[in-house]
Amino acid sequence: MASHAEHDDAQLVDALKRRDEAAFVQLVRRYQGPLLRLALVYAGSRAVAEEIVQDAWLGVLQGVEKFEGRSSFKTWLFRILVNRARTRAEREGRTVPFSALGGAALEPGEPAVAAERFRGPSDPQWPLHWAVPPRSWGASPEEQLLARETLDLVERVIAALPPAQREVITLRDVEGWAAEEVCNVLGISETNQRVLLHRARSRVRGALESHLDPS
């Protein structure tokens, strides 16, 4: 069943097909911010990200007549952005080809949490359990997490993540998307999405632990 937002988008898209300029303005107001935040995942600067977003909106205007509503407008719009951003990034040589990232998330790599934080398999009491569990970040972690320096740290950590992890955590945790939406837009499997998100969140949490409890 379509959500209220999807129904509203569908009406705006119908109006846009009739070249209703006001409908286009409403769609831009609704999605400009999220589009720009995702474009920054691929871009080397805000100016480049803004160009990518403009290119995506141009793609909407050029292709809206062919949009049949098989997916939500939101999914279609962000697919346009991702495809154009990836193409530009590859062309400029700033990233490895994104076609190579699909299986990379499932290959053996760095552990999400350092191995030394767990007990060994031969531990007599708690084999493979935490040896150094995550610590509390204080009596009021909400206040610390809202601190500007902490938010700046999170932004820097996300910006330094590998591209595929950065895509997923931006959509899931910054934009609040559901896993299914992320998979549809990025063209990845649910398993891939889950692994990428777990690794990204683990890096962010590790950085926050060091920042909030440097001891």
Please give the CATH topology (third level) of the domain spanning 4-91: Rna Polymerase Sigma Factor; Chain: A (1.10.1740)
Right CATH for 115-212 from 2.30.290.10, 3.30.1490.20, 3.40.50.720, 1.10.10.10: 1.10.10.10
Average pLDDT estimate for 2-30? 90
More confident residue, 199 or 107: 199
- Given a cut of 50, is residue 27 above it in pLDDT? yes
User: 4-91 and 115-212: same fold?
Assistant: no
pLDDT in tens, 145-187: 556 777 788 888 998 999 899 999 999 998 999 999 999 999 9
Considering only the C-alpha atoms of the chain, give the largest distance between any 2 of them, rounded to a whole number of Å. 72
Report the pLDDT value the prediction gives residue 34, as an integer from 0 to 100. 94
Average pLDDT estimate for 63-85? 93
- The answer to which of 17-26, 41-50, 105-114 has the lowest mean pLDDT is 105-114
- pTM, two decimals, is 0.72
CA distance 4 to 91: 38
- Given a cut of 70, is residue 204 above it in pLDDT? yes
CA distance 102 to 193: 10
Q: Is 79 helix (H, G, I), strand (E, B) or coil?
A: helix
CA distance 202 to 205: 5
Domain segments of the chain as ranges: 4-91, 115-212
CA distance 182 to 174: 12
